[in-house]
Amino acid sequence: MNQISNKTVVITGASRGIGEAAARHFANTGAHVVLAARSEARIHAIAKEINEGGGTATAIRCDVSQPADIEVLINTAIEKTGSIDVLINNAGVIDPIARLADSDPEAWSQIVDVNFKGVYHGLRYAIPEMLRGGGGTIINISSGAATSALEGWSHYCATKAAVLALTRVAHKEYGDQGVRVVGLSPGTVATDMQVTIKASGINPVSQLDLDAHIPPEWVAKALMWLCGPEADPHLGTDFSIKTDQGRAAVGLVATA
């Protein structure tokens, strides 16, 4: 995937899981990765490891729920590298899991701030810079929850459905101007989020063993594939790697 070499890739939620795996994978392919997360010490440690390993990485503390933080993130990435070529809106949370009548309104609202408004903030501040730079790719991490009803996940299902709507609208508004917007629905991934889900004991996903989930490195490979022209038919939609067909396109092993 040499189309990503020497490009700037900004990744939110990069302190662990999918975000960390993506940062390492893109850096190994020659991109300048910008790691963004609230866990400042952790992203600086990952960036240091990448740089010491011959890659190029920058760490910037960012709370995606705060528009000013995202504006600073995008502007700083451009100041340090000269461009923003890829934005991966990965930051997301699911805790606390609770049925609607048991949910805490403040906690529910905080999920909206991160999972939904955080993606909006990324789109809002990255798109103008990509237009000025002649284009770019924005990938929003989605979920099967965007189109499914899962007990205890009202906040997660609602916010992922909203993110899918943002992906569709952004593509409609800017797809013909060189800004590629696509969602990725990876299925269940072996991250800390699955530990939280399993501990809740609510809905069938919590009953899965941790070894039933795909590794975050598979997701990183799919993210790379979405940056290339082969993914163009999926722009404005959620591309899934839960199927054999989707995994084969990316070059992953089949589910069977």
Of 120, 125, 156, 174, the catalytic one is: 156
With vertex at residue 250, the alpha carbon angle to CA 89 and CA 58, rounded to the nearest 5 degrees, is 40
Give the largest CA-CA distance in the chain: 51
Which element (helix H / strand E) includes 56?
strand 56-61
Query: Angle at which helices 67-81 and 117-133 pack, to 10 degrees?
Result: 30
Query: Residue 190: CB partners within 8 Å, gap ≥ 6?
Result: 210, 211, 213, 214, 215, 216
Q: Which two tokens stand for residue 177?
A: 């101007």
Query: For residue 142, which of 176, 116, 121, 104 has the smallest C-alpha distance?
Result: 116
Q: Is 156 a catalytic residue?
A: yes
User: What interhelical angle do 154-174 and 117-133 show, nearest 10?
Assistant: 20
- Residues carrying an active site annotation: 156
